[in-house]
Amino acid sequence: MVTYREAMRQAIREALTRDDRAFLMGEDVGRYGGCYAVSLGLLEEFGPERIRDTPLSESAFVGAGIGAALNGMRPIVEIMTVNFSLLALDQIVNNAATLSYMSGGQFNVPLVIRMTTGAGRQLGAQHSHSLEGWYAHIPGLRALAPATLEDARGMLWPALQDPDPVIIFEHGTLYNIEGELADDAGPVDINTAAVRRPGDDVTIITYGGTMRTGLGAAEQLAGSGVSAEVIDLRCLRPLDTATIVSSVARTHRAVIVDEGWRTGSLAAEVSARIMEEVFYDLDAPVARVCSAEVPMPYAKHLEDAAIPQVADVVAAVQMLGG
């Protein structure tokens, strides 16, 4: 059995082994082994030149990563949480995402930024938000959300081959999940969504931490005779619109599950694309299940009430009728 964090560690080890230009940098990634123990043991294996502990300044070490990428290296930058990435927003949005376009393609930034996202761990509002939709809004970035062991293991290497910056969002509740992972598990496609469960009556569209919520809802709905197809977006920018609309055109109903806030959410973008592409195939309005529009609570019962749960998704499907 392999955990999600171990799959991520395998991916980093593979990258550092295959490419001498690759290195990991971030807060506590070395001697401490990473805030979520993803890089545990890598300092001893690869040394301080390849596993670099940084000062507590996201803007500084993300900027250093951009500079290293511009000079031919393949940096993997770890930011503890998506909330902390806001301290490096200028570097990510105004530098990493724009340099290729502004230089007419003369300069590429082959940088990978890994960050933990999401709630469900009672870490308070400063450590628990889902801001993936913010980054999915930015041209020049690729945004990935591995929700399975295979994707946790297989997304990093192809991300490092991308000439443009890639952000990998790792949901904090996934690190401890475990399952079987083939010994020869390798790179995965980072361009398309994945159908995690086929179905005929409704399409449940999810990503990251909400993918398991969507699967749980589909399992519960099956008990009442509703066949739900579950799509894992996986790549949030660019979105695989073709897979989404192909499924909805067949099931005629769609529910989008997004841990982000409803207003201006990634779920809103997916909903708009469905309406633009397959409006006349819909038998009911597109439904969205999102987080409550409050800073994420610390108290367990309030946190649970604020984020999408299986029962919320089931209720949304049932509201569509049919």
pLDDT for the residue 41: 95
Mean pLDDT in each 10-residue stretch from start to end of the chain (322 residues)? 96 97 97 94 96 96 98 97 96 97 96 96 93 97 98 97 97 96 90 97 97 98 97 98 98 98 97 97 98 96 97 97 70
pLDDT at 321: 81
**Cis before residue 238, ω within 30 degrees of 0?**
yes
Does residue 95 lie in a domain region?
yes
Q: What is the DSSP letter of 126?
A: T
Whether residue 245 sits in one domain with residue 145: no
Tokens of 210: 């909400």
CA 187 to mean position of chain CA atoms: 16
In 3D space, the residue among 204, 241, 210 whose CA is nearest the CA of residue 320 turns out to be 204
185 in a structural domain: no
Domain limits at 126? 2-179
- Quote the number of domains for the chain: 2
- 300/168 same-domain check: no
Q: What is the pLDDT of residue 63?
A: 98
Measured CA to CA in angstroms, residue 262 lies from 6, 55, 168, 280 at distances of 33, 35, 22, 24
- The domain that contains 62 carries what CATH number? 3.40.50.970
Phi/psi for 75 (5° steps) reads: -75, 140
Is the same domain home to 199 and 171? no
What's the pLDDT at 185?
Answer: 86
What lies within 8 Å, CB to CB, of 208 at 6+ separation is 117, 118, 130, 132, 145, 146, 147, 169, 171, 174, 259
Task: Give catalytic residues, as residue numbers.
Answer: 58, 127
- Residue 69 in contact with residue 54, Cβ under 8 Å? no
Same domain as 120, residue 75 = yes
The CATH number linked to 287 is 3.40.50.920
- Do 141 and 276 fall within a single domain? no
The DSSP code for 279 is: G
Q: Are residues 71 and 206 in the same domain?
A: no
Q: Does residue 187 lie in a domain region?
A: no
Give me the pLDDT at residue 183, please: 82
| Domain-ending residue, one of 154, 179, 204 | 179
| 142 located within any domain | yes
C-alpha to C-alpha distance for 51 and 28, rounded to whole angstroms = 10
Output Rg (C-alpha) for the chain, integer angstroms: 19
